[in-house]
Structure 1
Amino acid sequence: MGLYSEHIFPRLMESGLGSDVHRRYRRRVLSRARGNVLEVGFGTGLNLECYPTSVHRVTGIDPAAVLERRVRARVARAPFRVERMIHDAADRLPFPDAHFDTATSTWTLCSIARVREALLELRRVLKPSGELLFLEHGRNEKGWVSRLQDTWNPVQNFVACGCNVNRKIDAEIERGGFRIIELDRFTMPGVPRVLGSVYLGVARPHGGRRLA
């Protein structure tokens, strides 16, 4: 990791994704989390304060550890057990099949290089009755916006350490072995459509038992 990716970009992400608006969306999507949770793209732990009391443990995976002082403070304040692991989500996860009650991903699927492999691994370690809760930005439904996203994406990928703005997140999730049961599409207020086209929803493993 270089100076930019290890120190500068994480602080830029903190200032953006840590806003009150982003926090409201985090709370909304994570309100369904329960039990033993696997969080993909743990980052600096911004999600920890947004989990409900139904969560007992969060295992966070991320390919890098950044802003450690902030992360340790957030982990210490969490009312549940938090475990962290440096791991590429697309590699085989070191957990048994059907291990987690919930999987979460917030602004992460955009930056995983082998996103289908990562989602297939999430499906493997998620219980058949479990849920994947996702909050992502991605491809806009309007043709002119999506064309702008395609044009901008190489720049975004470079300045945002692998982030892609033009992925069709719902299609990626379905290709990864999930069935989307809830999906809200909208543009975040005050954010250009190229960057702020949001997918917020819930998915379950194909063949999973429907929760009561």
Structure 2
Amino acid sequence: MGLYSEHIFPRLMESGLKGELHRRYRRRVLSRAQGHVLEVGFGTGLNVECYPMSVRRVTGIDPAAVLERRVRARIARAPFRVDRVIHDAADRLPFPDGHFDTVTTTWTLCSIERLRDALLELRRALKPSGELLFLEHGRNDKGWVSRLQDTLNPIQNVVACGCNINRKIDAEIEGGGFRIVDLDRFTMPGVPRALGSVYLGVATPRGGGGLERPRGTGP
């Protein structure tokens, strides 16, 4: 890791993601989390304060450890056990099949290089009755916005250390062995559509026992 990716970008990213609006969306999507949670892209631990009391343990995976002092402070305040594993989500996860009750991703799927491999691994590690809770930005449905995203994506990929703004998140999730049972699509207020087109939802492993709910719209 270089100076920019290890020290500068993590601070920029945290500054952009720790505001009240982002916290509100985090709490909304994580409200369904329960039991032993696998958090993909633990980052600086911004999700820790947003989990409900139904969570008893969080195992966070991330390809690198950054801003360690902040991370340790957030973990110390957690009312549940938090473990961290430095690991690329696209590689074979060091967990048995059906190990977790819930898998969570927040603003993470945009930056995993081999996303399909990662999703298949998450599917394997999740219980058949478990849920994948996701809050991601991605491809907008409007043609001119998606074309703009395609144009800007190579720049975004470099500036934001591998982030992609033009991934169709719902299609990626369903192609990775999940069935989306609840999905909201909206643009975050005050954020350009190219960057703030949000996918917030719930998915279950194909063949799992999750209860299907109608898809919604709106923030």
Query: Normalized against structure 2, the TM-score is what?
Result: 0.96
| 1:199 aligned partner, one-letter code | Y
Match of 2:120?
120
CA contact (8 A) 2:7 2:67 kept: yes
CA contact (8 A) 2:131 2:210 kept: no
Q: Distance in 2 between matches of 1:202 and 1:152?
A: 28
CA contact (8 A) 1:62 1:85 kept: yes
Alignment size in residue pairs: 212
Match of 2:101?
101
Q: Distance in 2 between matches of 1:59 and 1:105?
A: 12
1:189, CA displacement in angstroms? Answer: 0.4
Percent of aligned positions with the same letter in both sequences?
Answer: 84
Moved over 4 A (4+): none
1:30 maps to 2:44: no
CA contact (8 A) 2:41 2:62 kept: yes
Consecutive unaligned residues of structure 1, counting only runs of 5 or more, are none
Q: Distance in 1 between matches of 2:6 and 2:20?
A: 24
CA contact (8 A) 2:156 2:164 kept: yes
Consecutive unaligned residues of structure 2, counting only runs of 5 or more, are 213-219
Structure 1 residues 29-61: Cα deviation after superposition (integer angstroms, max 9, x where no partner) = 000000000000000000000000000000000
Secondary structure of the residue aligned to 1:108 is coil
Match of 1:181?
181
Query: Normalized against structure 1, the TM-score is what?
Result: 0.99
CA contact (8 A) 1:129 1:211 kept: no
1:114, CA displacement in angstroms? Answer: 0.2
1:65, CA displacement in angstroms? Answer: 0.2
1:209, CA displacement in angstroms? Answer: 1.1
Secondary structure of the residue aligned to 2:117 is helix
Aligned Cα RMSD in Å?
0.8
